[in-house]
Structure 1
Amino acid sequence: MPVIKHNPSELFPQYRCYSHATEIRGDSRLLIISGLNGYLKDGQTMPESFEDQAEIIWTHIQSILRSANMELHHLVSLRTYLAGPEYDEANVKMRVKFLGTHEPASTVICCQLLDPRWKLEVEAMAAT
């Protein structure tokens, strides 16, 4: 079963021992997307607002999906890490904006994130 890494050039540089996503191919395909944050392509610039970070993250998710010839409707699971519960409503609005009526399995966790600038981080899985 082939394992393919997806690291589109539109995203920020990879961390050490990290791929933005890993796809497992067989009779079906499973794409596992690493936790993404709101860094722009330079890997250093990040807007301050939750909404702007979320827009960037959803753009990153779409870039990775395209690199695997998938779309948002292929998402089967989302895991969102919020820096605090005050971001919950804004997070729901972003999911509705990008997913519409699509309803992948989803978990939202509030926790301290690695960088204090991060308002959220999102992991995803997609399948065909």
Structure 2
Amino acid sequence: MARTLISSGSDFERVAGYSRAVVDGRWVFVSGTTGFDYAAGTIADSVEEQTHQTFRNIAAALEKAGAGLKDVVRIRVYLSESTDFPKVAPILGEYMGEVRPANTTVVCQLVDPRMKVEIEVTARR
């Protein structure tokens, strides 16, 4: 099977030389995704809305790959502030509660100070 590259249309993907997602056989690897609304070019102030938008962005990439959130087997969550975890955890449960993928959450600095959460997933179609 050929490798397929999926783009969200973000200029940053071109500049930084990466794809929003890569499909390799049955596997789909979605890059770290943030809460930017790519169509509007905006990002919400709240970590909660950023997390919801992040899942919308991930779901769109997975759909282009012929997969969905139900196919996620691994999730990595990056938070800029540890105090945001209690706000983000229930939202993770909302999207991943039935799927229950392996999860790692890390607190770290993100590349844009407006970003409060970044999530990457691996799915198997």
TM-score normalised by the chain length of structure 2: 0.91
Deviations 1:10-55 (A, max 9, x none): xx44422011000101xxx100000001111247411110011111
Q: Select 1:89's aligned residue among 77, 86, 103.
A: 86
Q: Select 2:42's aligned residue among 30, 35, 45.
A: 45
Deviations 1:39-86 (A, max 9, x none): 112474111100111111000111011111111110010011000111
Are 1:7 and 2:4 an aligned pair? Answer: no
Which region of structure 1 is more displaced relative to structure 2, 59-68 or 42-51?
Answer: 42-51
Identity, % of aligned pairs?
A: 28
**1:9-88 equivalent positions in 2, closer than 5 A:** 12-15=10-13, 16=15, 17-25=17-25, 29-42=26-39, 44-88=41-85
Is the Cα contact below 8 Å between 2:8 and 2:38 reproduced in 1? no
Is the Cα contact below 8 Å between 1:8 and 1:67 reproduced in 2? no
Is the Cα contact below 8 Å between 1:14 and 1:20 reproduced in 2? no
Is there any run of 5+ residues in structure 2 with no aligned partner, and where? none
CA drift at 1:101:
2.2
Counterpart CA distance in 2 for 1:14 and 1:60 is: 15
TM-score normalised by the chain length of structure 1: 0.89
Letter in 1 for 2:7: N
Q: How many residue pairs were aligned?
A: 123
Higher helix share: 2
Is there any run of 5+ residues in structure 1 with no aligned partner, and where? none
Q: Select 1:112's aligned residue among 105, 109, 114.
A: 109
